[in-house]
A and B are shown apart, each in its own frame.
Chain A
């Protein structure tokens, strides 16, 4: 076991190196203008295409671009700028992680309880009703992409019933946690709410978590049957 882990650890940098080279090589199939698309986002900026290509060295030989990238990553710890998160990639990963963790935490419990229960029930009552029903659901849930379930749940539980709204908090609660009267210990909203002793924030956060948790539970449970 130890040798296995050791071997994997030794191989890891080589694999990582190979992957970066491969990705870099693949990106070279895109013209410099195409790689400039992250910076030129509307027609009014079209005149700046040559300047952008020059600024980021997008038309330089591939090995020079690769060395530039390596230098940024290893010497400056710069993983790049995320155009979607509007912040450096490293910072983006850090800021989105607590929400991901929270969602995983809450969906883990129902997925385990219901999933294990369903799996056991189906195995014990093989070819009985419960087995068939869970199989049918398993296949149908798996065949639909998660965002479809997400939208359905939003339509019914938010659009129709207004139980589980999207986002992390409602407006009033959101403004409260930003007002300075609320301390962020972990950035996991439900935990911070309890640590601050603000039960109403906790309940609101749970209300906003319910939709995504339900979506994940439905998909994971049936598909992990």
Chain B
């Protein structure tokens, strides 16, 4: 027994010493100086630029593997610089036609793909058409389909492909020499923002050789709406013009590796390699940045204090981001089938009727009762601002002087007293506020609102309910929730991408809230088609004013932050980015 024990002890000791020998921390010297390691909590869905519609995927491929015709100028979301095109089209330089419908891009010459072949306008056309006609359910294709063809999808209600559309698109995108021109269905002001983000150019010849779309109308049926992400050939391989080549996406090891493109059309990137790793738990992610094994990690606002003060780690706060959180009031609740969120379904003090929020006084009462300062201080660690309408602060069309609600108990009470001829105040109500479970910020926001409303009148009762994402989808589609909290992140940096989902009667949230205002719908379309910036801004100001008058949604705009090792250099923020733009970055 004694012998076994000492043998065991010796074994353990030897093993430990061997391991320690190889594992001594290397002080504060820069770890892996030519490799940037980013550790995230979610896997990319695909690396195909026409399928990808999630941050984790876009972060890897966009501007690293694939590039766009134009790019954002520094931290600006509204000013552009040329990228694969030689200039940013404008009416003055003839790049935009006088009627605002045709955009012409002259292609940069001598740009090479990762396989050494030269990029041509045919590659650009192929890429745009491929993006539009892949059109997988829940994918990003509508972003180009909508301005170019005036449709949101390529299939009818039964899922059948509209055969005439391809020909129309083929006509709308014309190539000639080294220029490509795109003619829109009608003038669409956000088009340059869209081109800066969604015009990723793939290598046509290479893609065809990989048995991807063959570029002909006959191949569209096979390209359209693939059943699974892996059904597309560009799912895990890539061939673009970007500063990095896709070396490998190891789904078992949960990492994607990019390697420097030494024949890049500009100076090669400073970093030789970029590694995107997935570690779901915050604990190990935090340890990795502490040890320098990670250079940039994802951190939630609630975990922020745990990375502050860690030696060698930099937290960059107060970053503007194109995200809006809404507290939505449902004007047409489906109260059928014993909906637990509306209690009795009547205005008897134990529930709310279907049209409870249809009375603007109720909605104003909620907006005046809500304690904005407490919510921002306690739920957002002070890092959020009250939205003055759907358009985020800092974006074109935002009106900093728009009149908005502030916490005012007297006004809240007056509004509730006026609602439904005094019945709301006399009878009271009961309903639930839903948030996506696990999101502590939104849970806290719902609780603040609950206490604010209940403090007004003892007959006012509010339940706070966490629902899973799956439950949420079901309740959302059936319009069962009386009030809920969820966010929206921009598809492209333009006010149109906020007013449409939030205010249009057919928008993602407007439709779920049963909100219809014909004037709003018209103004949204007018703003899209308006090419005069001053007139366009005036329309957005008007839309924010209506958002105030009609108050259907309370807006909160959270502020972002980044956590990185202090040896990371060259990082800069642009709210339109899906992740750090690695090309100018280095480590020292």
Contact = CB atoms under 8 A, between A and B. Distances in A.
Contacts of B471: 34
A59 B508 CA distance: 22
B508 A47 contact: yes
Interface string A175-218: 10010000000000000000000000001101100100000000
Given A40-B138, A43-B508, A159-B291, A34 B473 contact: yes
Contact of A42 (B20, B37, B54, B257): B54
Interface in A29-45: 30-37, 39-45
Contacts of A175: 35, 257, 273
Contacts of A108: none
Given A34-B471, A43-B486, A166 B288 contact: yes
Interface string B109-150: 000000000000000000000000000011100000000000
Contacts of A203: 18-19, 22
B248 A49 contact: no
Nearest to A81: B228
Interface in B226-250: 227-230, 247-248, 250
A40 to B, nearest CB: 6
B279 A87 contact: no
Contacts of B25: 162
Contact of B291 (A37, A44, A162, A174): A162
Contacts of B273: 175
Contact of B476 (A30, A46, A114): A46
B2 interface: no
Given A55-B159, A162-B25, A48 B138 contact: yes
Interface stretch (A12-20, A132-140, A150-158): A150-158
Given A113-B8, A163-B23, A36 B473 contact: yes
Contacts of A45: 53, 138
A54 interface: yes
The secondary structure that dominates the B interface is: mixed
Contact of B470 (A34, A88, A161): A34
Contacts of A40: 138, 473
Interface stretch (B407-415, B487-495, B549-557): B487-495
B137 A39 contact: yes
Contacts of B247: 178
A41 B137 CA distance: 12
A55 B252 CA distance: 28
A114 B253 CA distance: 31
Contact of A48 (B137, B284, B476): B137
Given A51-B159, A154-B284, A158-B287, A171 B275 contact: yes
Contact of B19 (A39, A114, A154, A163): A163
A87 B231 CA distance: 11
B23 A39 contact: no
Contact of A41 (B8, B54, B476): B54
Contacts, number: 154
A165 B287 CA distance: 9
Nearest to B225: A55
Given A113-B8, A171-B37, A96 B252 contact: yes
Given A44-B488, A155-B287, A158-B291, A168 B253 contact: yes
A203 B20 CA distance: 11
Interface in A63-102: 81, 84-88, 92, 95-96, 99
Nearest to A158: B287
A52 B138 CA distance: 7
A168 B255 CA distance: 12
A206 B18 CA distance: 10
A159 B252 contact: no
Contacts of B19: 163-164, 203, 206-207, 210
Contact of B230 (A42, A44, A88, A172): A88
Contact of B251 (A87, A151, A161): A87
A210 B18 CA distance: 12
Interface in B162-191: none
A65 B308 CA distance: 51
A89 B137 CA distance: 21
A174 B248 CA distance: 12
Residue in A81, A92, A168 whose Cβ sees the most chain B Cβ within 10 Å: A81
B4 interface: yes
Nearest to A114: B8
B406 interface: no
A51 B137 contact: yes
Nearest to A147: B281
Interface string A97-120: 001000000000000011001000
B243 to A, nearest CB: 19
A92 B257 CA distance: 20
Most buried by A among B23, B251, B488: B23
Nearest to A30: B470
Contacts of B290: 159
B473 A49 contact: yes
B71 to A, nearest CB: 22
B20 A163 contact: yes
B283 interface: yes
A154 B287 CA distance: 8
B524 to A, nearest CB: 16
A164 B293 CA distance: 12
Given A43-B488, A151-B283, A164-B23, 15 more contacts: A34-B470, A37-B470, A42-B53, A44-B488, A44-B489, A44-B491, A48-B138, A48-B139, A92-B252, A154-B284, A159-B290, A162-B23, A175-B35, A178-B248, A207-B22
The 9 tightest CB contacts between A and B, nearest first, are A48-B138, A37-B470, A33-B474, A45-B138, A34-B470, A95-B252, A31-B474, A51-B137, A33-B473
Interface of A: 30-37, 39-52, 54-55, 81, 84-88, 92, 95-96, 99, 113-114, 117, 121, 147, 151, 154-155, 158-159, 161-168, 170-172, 174-175, 178, 203-204, 206-207, 210
23 contacts: A33-B476, A34-B470, A35-B470, A41-B45, A41-B469, A44-B53, A44-B508, A48-B139, A50-B477, A81-B229, A84-B43, A86-B43, A95-B252, A151-B281, A158-B284, A159-B290, A162-B24, A163-B16, A165-B293, A166-B288, A170-B293, A203-B19, A207-B22
